């Protein structure tokens, strides 16, 4: 389940990066907002990637 959320975060970040790039090229965004959108999208992509590569352990499981 966590990996699925990681995939969704990564995809959302990639889509936000692409859309920000398209809107910046069309000059429809206010220029000071562009770095903020890139920062947010990169944070989403890093969080999604971390969720994809992390190794999860079961909590509360008895140790053998």
Number of structural domains found in the chain: 1
Whether 63 is covered by a domain: the verdict is no
Record the tokens describing residue 28, joined without a space: 């429809």
Nearest to 13 by CA among 42, 37, 53, 35: 42
> Using an 8 Å Cβ cutoff, are 56 and 8 in contact?
no
**Does residue 31 or residue 11 have the better pLDDT?**
11
At 30-51, the pLDDT tens digits run: 778 888 888 999 999 999 999 8
Residue written as token pair 């090229």: 25
Whether 27 is covered by a domain: the verdict is yes
CA 58 to chain centre: 25
Whether 59 is covered by a domain: the verdict is no
Give the domain range for residue 26. Answer: 2-53
Whether 21 is covered by a domain: the verdict is yes
Question: At 4, which helix (H) or strand (E)?
Answer: helix 2-25
Record the tokens describing residue 42, joined without a space: 């990169």
């Amino acid at each position: 389940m966590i990996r699925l959320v990681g995939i969704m975060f990564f995809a959302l970040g990639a889509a936000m990066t692409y859309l920000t790039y398209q809107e910046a090229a069309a000059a429809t965004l206010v220029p000071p907002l562009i770095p903020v959108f890139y920062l947010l999208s990169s944070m989403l992509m890093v969080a999604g990637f971390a969720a994809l590569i992390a190794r999860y352990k079961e909590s509360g499981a008895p140790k053998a």
